[in-house]
Amino acid sequence: MALSDFQTQKLLHLFRTFFDTDHNGTVEKSDFDMVGDKICKLRGWPVGSAEYVATHQRLAAVWDGISVHDIDHDGHISEAEWLKLWADAIAKKDKTDAWIRDYQEFMFKAQDISGDGTVDEEEFATLYACLGMPAQQCKEAFNKLTLGGNGIVTKDIFQQRFQEFIASDDKSAPGNYLFGCGKF
């Protein structure tokens, strides 16, 4: 199944903003190590602590899942390889790759700093600012994501918004803002 232009723009935003951490144009294992380090620093988890190890292990598992789609085996996921893997994943519908579920789970837990099973605006903004998103953009994205802000995101809502982000062609779908306000 071919991705629409809108899906392509959203997925490239996700690639460039959240996956290609060092902004070298491709995604590789070191991008995940870097994200893991940033999150552990934010949470105050020292190198070698149980949380540090678990965070890096979970990210390494996501990378292992993604790296299967490194078609030319150069150790990097290019934008073309990234778009192809999503087109394939979306076409499979309910048989979504395990790494996509692992990534959703990871991101939700990373956002839910207090660990109460919901994400509020402050938590959302705290994590995304740590990952490099400007504060104003975090606020705007949360507002759109929760249909007017003042709300919270549960894991069910997060998963629903994630599906909208990757698959919806509806420009007004709140899930388009799950990873901030891209240029789409």
H or E stretch covering 114: none
Please choose, out of 29-37, 38-46, 156-164, 172-180, the segment that lies near Ca ion by the rule CB under 5 A: 29-37
- To Ca ion, the closest distance from the beta carbon of 67 in angstroms equals 9
- 117-127 per-residue burial string, b: 16 or more CB within 10 A, e: under 16: ebbbbebbbbb
CA 147 to CA 141: how far, in whole Å? 10
Is residue 68 near Ca ion by the rule CB under 5 A? Answer: no
Is residue 34 near Ca ion by the rule CB under 5 A? Answer: no
Residues 6+ apart with CB under 8 A from 123: 111, 112, 113, 114
Is residue 22 near Ca ion by the rule CB under 5 A? Answer: yes
Comparing CB distances to Ca ion, the nearer of 77 and 167 is 77
Q: Name the nearest CA neighbour of 36 among 85, 136, 107.
A: 107
Q: Which of 4, 54, 74, 135 binds Ca ion (CB under 5 A)?
A: 74
Q: What are the phi and psi torsion angles at 119 (to 5°)?
A: -120, 125
Comparing CB distances to Ca ion, the nearer of 35 and 178 is 35
27 strand-pairing partners: 77
Is residue 33 near Ca ion by the rule CB under 5 A? Answer: no
- To Ca ion, the closest distance from the beta carbon of 69 in angstroms equals 8
Comparing CB distances to Ca ion, the nearer of 20 and 121 is 20
Binding residues for Ca ion, total number by CB under 5 A: 8
Is residue 36 near Ca ion by the rule CB under 5 A? Answer: no
Is residue 63 near Ca ion by the rule CB under 5 A? Answer: no
CA 142 to CA 149: how far, in whole Å? 6
Is residue 116 near Ca ion by the rule CB under 5 A? Answer: no
What is the DSSP-derived secondary structure letter of residue 181? -
- To Ca ion, the closest distance from the beta carbon of 43 in angstroms equals 23
For residue 43, give Cα distances in angstroms to 12, 47, 55, 121: 28, 12, 11, 17
Note the residues at the interface with Ca ion (CB under 5 A).
20, 22, 24, 31, 70, 72, 74, 76
